[in-house]
Each structure stands twice: as C-alpha cells, then as structure tokens.
Structure 1
Amino acid sequence: MNFGVRLKELRKELGMTLEEAAGKLGVSIPALSGWEQGHRRPNIEMMKQLTALYGTSADYILGLTEDREPKPLTMNAKEILMRKGLHWDGQPLSDEELRTMRVLLEYVLNEKKKDNANADERKAQGE
C-alpha cells in the first residue's frame, strides 16, 4: 500500500476529517490532502507527529511493513556501558566509573538469579 493511501486510511479509521487531522498536526488542509493524494511528502518532524497522531510506526505509514505496532527498541546495557564518551546528565563518566557500573549490575543480576533459584527450590519442596 502506498504512503498516501495509508495516511488516508489511518485518518478515516480514527473518524477524523481532513480538517480535524490537519488541525491536530498544525498543517493546512491542502498540505495533508497533498500527502494523502501522493503529490507531496511530509518532512521528518511531521512524520514524527503523524506516528504520534495515528499511533503507529513510520515504517507502517511509509508502507515498509504491514505491522502497525512499532517495535520496541532493545539495547544491551552491557554493550552500552562498554562505549566511550558516556555521560550521566551531562557529567562525563570515566572508564573506571563505567567498569564499576558493569560490576555492580553483574552482581545485582547474579543475586537475582540466586534468589529465583532459591525460590524455585522452596516451591519444589512444597514450602
């Protein structure tokens, strides 16, 4: 499905007129109509607003996927804490501080595993 058709479909699913959707987006009716008819394309900032208004991903709006739900981003904290140049609210973090954070997180997660294993064992014993 092309971009314009998808935009129009999403707007109609929410029961919005062109005027209502344009008002919520802060654009003119002709601008939105041009997008829906495929004569124009919105900029990146407007794509963000479209995804928020229609509650779906840019990939879905652009016709790159049939999955309406945006995929949650997952990031490996261990990998992130290996990066250089990280900061905490603007305060640079040294290599030693990052190493301490990695060690602390590993400790917390290992303790959680032990607690879960102990709870499973007690449950198996019928406590």
Structure 2
Amino acid sequence: MFEIDKERFGAFLLELRKEKGYTQKQLAEKLFVSDKAVSKWERGLSLPDITLLGPLADILGVTVTELLQARRISEEKTMTKLEVDDLVSGSIHLSVEEQEEKRVRQRKRMICFLLCTAAAALETWGLMRTGGGKEIFSTEFFTIEGMCLLFGAWFLLFARETLPSFYDENKINYYSQGPFRIHIAGVHFNNKNWPHVLRAGRIVMMGIVVFNPLFSFLLFKILGAAWWGRYRGYVSLAVVLCTFIPLVVAAKKNE
C-alpha cells in the first residue's frame, strides 16, 4: 500500500510555498488553520486534514495527485491502474490517521475535563470543612460552577472544530449547536478565529471551575462576612463577565 512520506511531503510543500512567495502565516490564513499547523506539515511531523488537500493544491497551483505524491507530474504522463490504486489507498490511510489523531485529542480533553472537575470538587469540599461554607458556597456559587462545567464540557468535548463555509462568506455573530448557542454582538465568527474562540472557551471555563472556589474563599476571609453578604452578587456578575471577555478578545483579534 502506498503511504505518504511525511518528510517528502513537507519538503515539497515548503518548495511550493516559497515558489508562490507565501509565508507560513499567509498560507495558514488562506486555509483557515494556524501557522503552527503549516510548520508541522513542512517539518514532516504531521499531514493536513484530507478535506484541506483540495484547497491546498489549488492555492499552490498543483493537483491533489501531485501533492500526495510530493512531485510534479507532466501532462504527457498517465498513471497506471496500480499507481491510482496506491494513491487512493494512501488517501484512505491519511483519513484513518486523521481520525486517530482526533480520537487522541478527544481523550486528552476528556482527561482534562475530569481532572478539573475532580480538583474543583475536592477544593470545594476542603474549603467547606474549614468554615464559612454556608456564606461562600451559596446558590450563586454553585450556579456559576455548574454553568462553567456545562459550557466547559461543550467547548472541550462536543463543539465542532470547523464551521460551515457560509460563516466565511458572511458576517455572522452567532453559532448554535443543539441546545448551545453563542451570540456576541460585534463579533463575526469564521474558520480563522473559531479555533481561537474554542481554545479561549476551554481555558476560561475550566479555569473558573478550578479557581473560583479558592478565589471566593479568599475574598470572604480577607474582606469579611459583612462585605461578602452585601457584594457577593456583584462578584458573581464579575465572574460571569470574565467568561465572555476572553471569547470576545480571541474572536476580534483573529477575525
């Protein structure tokens, strides 16, 4: 079976990119991927998603066949049946490899989610035993923790990593998937900023899950029960706002 030589593919990609005069960042922007992804392809560390082969070939002015074989093919030359079969087998192998990489990433994210949830639970339990649990760990606190856990699970485990093409062709400021919906005025989602939005969402949601118990406990101890009873609603509001600000910054910066 024909297997794509990653190093040869990377060298050919590097050659084509330089011929076109593109930087890694410019090529990445045209494909709506990160420049780190392009760097990995060129260094032979990974291969592009099979869905990117067509657009990548078009941008670089070669055919998908030439891209997969990592060499230019003259128009006079015709491929034999065996070469065609090998090429198709290589494409299938590439697709299988992509799926395995996605499964590995999904497992890592699942482990991250479980570890953060366990850490927050242990932290909350430990702080409640030290005193002040009724004042600190109120309905507002558990509402915020539950909301961040729910959205954190979505960002980590269920959110699609790419958006439909019409997001790149139109200015759309919302995204919905099942019961989940993100709607931010002034922000336009597309495949250029979506990976950054997902990353920001994962970090901020799970970060609040883990650090909110300790943050609330320290505020309570430093400022006192009277202050906490009067202003804890504002603290909860500030925490909620903190979940949106990184998403807006990530989206606008990479829009």
Normalised by the length of structure 2, the TM-score is: 0.26
